Amino acid sequence: MMYKTHIITGLAAGAGIAATQASGSFAFTVTYAAGITLGSLLPDLDQPKSFVGQRSLGLAKIISKLFGHRGFTHSLMAWCIVTAICLLFTSNFTIGISLGYLFHIVGDFFSVSSVPLFKPFSNFRPRNMWFSYKNESLAEESIKYIAILIFIYFFIVHELYKPFSFSIITNLKDVFGMIVNVISAYFL
Ligand SMILES: [Zn+2]
């Protein structure tokens, strides 16, 4: 799956969770969406040529040497480790990272080459019997556009634009407050 498809399917699934969860941790804020976007890119750090790999300052080369492409970073164990770290710093943002990471693994699981879900215990790549797609195929393009429609549905019909736009204002307020604090501490 291409990085854009990962981001869009991640955001669509994350919007679905936000729309059905009453709890505040899953509120569809800017930081939640940013977390999902980052999380949906992280598993491909095992590929130096991927979108995120090219921007990883060499980290992807090390990870690809250690784990190989579509290896451990695409397993449920890797997701558990990432989620455990996220839970140490629980926030809207880290919950987004954990969800985005999981959605990436699910997205690649449905591809023809699948993922080694049970690494390091087994190299077995379970294949979905009913549906699988080839990378960069018409099927993947279709998934991308369906995900865009699903995202728009949740964003508008379930009014996710409300917490989203509200969070932009509060974040701007926080940044503005910080700037005022710094200026008053150093210059006043
Ligand atoms: Zn991947």
Distance CA 152, CA 160 (A): 9
Residue 27 vs residues 6, 30, 47, 106: alpha-carbon distances, Å: 20, 9, 32, 22
Compute the distance from residue 27 Cα to the ligand 1 centre, in Å.
26
More confident residue, 176 or 23: 176
Q: What is the pLDDT of residue 162?
A: 93
Q: What is the pLDDT of residue 129?
A: 81
φ, ψ for residue 32, nearest 5 deg? -60, -50
pLDDT digits (tens, 9 = 90+) for 93-128: 999 999 999 999 999 999 999 999 999 999 999 988
Neighbours of ion ligand 1 (CB under 5 A): 43-44, 108
Q: What is the pLDDT of residue 25?
A: 81
Name residues whose C-beta falls within 8 Å of residue 83's C-beta, 6 or more positions apart in sequence: 98, 101, 102
Instruction: At 183, list the tokens.
Output: 């200026």
Compute the distance from residue 165 Cα to the ligand 1 centre, in Å.
30
* Total-model pTM: 0.90
pLDDT digits (tens, 9 = 90+) for 1-55: 999 999 999 999 999 999 998 677 899 999 999 999 999 999 999 999 999 999 9
More confident residue, 74 or 22: 74
- How many CA atoms are closer than 13 Å to the CA of 126, on its beta-carbon side? 12
- How many CA atoms are closer than 13 Å to the CA of 135, on its beta-carbon side? 9
Compute the distance from residue 90 Cα to the ligand 1 centre, in Å.
25
Q: What is the pLDDT of residue 188?
A: 75
